Structure 1
Amino acid sequence: MKDNWKLVKTETTYTDPVLRVEHRDFHFKKNDSVGTFTVISMKNWAVIVPVTAEGKLVLVKQFRVGTCDVSYEFPGGAVETGEDPLIGGARELVEETGYEGELTELVRMNPNPAFMDNTCYLYLAVNCVKTSELFLDPFEDVEPAEFSLSEVEQMILNGQISHSISIAAYGAYIASLRQV
């Protein structure tokens, strides 16, 4: 299937510190025509499912400008260019929660491959303990808190957790528990 598509041209139409918008022309062999597709190019992300020794999950509560609302999420953020995603994930965990733990990769996913080209690395952090204060960016307003598995499930079902990547991370975490 991949052989039916050939990238013939890429044009960047917008760039800012968060994203780049590209128009990509692909030749589609099945109908011998060229179509233009819009792609949002962003940094890769790391999202961490932090679990304490007591089995509590650490979530962050923060205001999100995209929805103009408060969101409960697992900690995470952009992986800097050239940075190992595991190192970026560990950094984000400390910055947003003050917790440290032992990180292992759960899964890699593409948040929306229809028009985004980045990868999100989902990590599990076990034996998490609070070791420091938060190290927030100038426009971050984050409150970490611990929740039980059943509380997180209720928060997902009642819409308190609506962040799709956090819901996927929770699903990957639950699937990993079943593999043991």
Structure 2
Amino acid sequence: MKSRWRYIKTEKKYADRVLSVEHRHYHFDGAGASMPFTVVNIKNWVITVPVADSGKLVLVRQFRVGTDSVTYEFPGGAVDDGEVTADAALRELAEETGYSSLSAKSLGIMHPNPAFMTNTCHCFLAENCVNGGSMNHDLFEETEPVEFTREEVLKMVQTGEITHSITIAAIGLWLVDQG
């Protein structure tokens, strides 16, 4: 299928500390035409499904500028350059919740939106998480960790209380892992 798509060139359009935007020009033999496609380059992400030593799932409440709303999400964020993804998952867990775990098990990867985004999100399970109480937020970050039962989390997805798409996908990967 890819052989019907021929790469022509890339034009850089914009860059800041979070992302860069470029136009990738492709010729599609199926249409007999060429056009630029907008592509957003973003660092890879991690998302962590934390299970507290109580057996409950730990989510964070936080304000999100994009939707101008407070969301419920699993802790996650960008992978630093050269950082091992499992280490990033445990770092984000501690920074956003104050919880810690001895290890992070990979649940899989996802591409948040491969139509125009280049990054990969790595999903991890952190079990037996202990609340150390001390969070280390980024400058413009404020989170409130909240524990929920499995049933409560599933109900929150069903009722639209959890709308963060990567968190919903992570719940799916976690459920598959649980069997």
Counterpart contact for 1:58–1:146, Cα < 8 Å = yes
Structure 1 length as normaliser, TM-score?
A: 0.94
| Percent pairwise identity | 51
Counterpart contact for 1:94–1:132, Cα < 8 Å = no
Tell me what 1:174 maps to.
175
Q: What SS class does the counterpart of residue 67 from structure 1 fall into?
A: coil
Considering only aligned residues, what root-mean-square deviation do their CA atoms show, in Å? 1.2
Tell me what 2:137 maps to.
136
Which ranges of structure 1 fall in alignment gaps of 5 or more residues? none
Whole-angstrom distance in 1 between the partners of 2:63 and 2:10: 35
- Following TM superposition, the consecutive aligned residue runs of length 4 or more in structure 1 with deviations greater than 4 angstroms are none
Q: What SS class does the counterpart of residue 39 from structure 2 fall into?
A: strand
| Pairs aligned (count) | 178
Q: Does 1:117 align with 2:104?
A: no
Tell me what 2:156 maps to.
155
Q: What SS class does the counterpart of residue 178 from structure 2 fall into?
A: helix
Q: How far is 1:176 from its partner?
A: 0.5
Whole-angstrom distance in 2 between the partners of 1:6 and 1:79: 31
Q: How does 1:10-49 map to 2 (within 5 A)?
A: 10-49=10-49
Whole-angstrom distance in 2 between the partners of 1:12 and 1:96: 33
Structure 2 length as normaliser, TM-score?
A: 0.95
Q: How far is 1:34 from its partner?
A: 2.0
Report the more deviating stretch, 84-93 or 1-10: 1-10
The superposition leaves residues 83-134 of structure 1 with CA deviations (integer Å, 9 ceiling, x where unpaired) of 2211111110110011112201101000000111100001011111112400
2:176 is aligned with what amino acid?
A: A
Q: How far is 1:53 from its partner?
A: 2.8
2:56 is aligned with what amino acid?
A: K
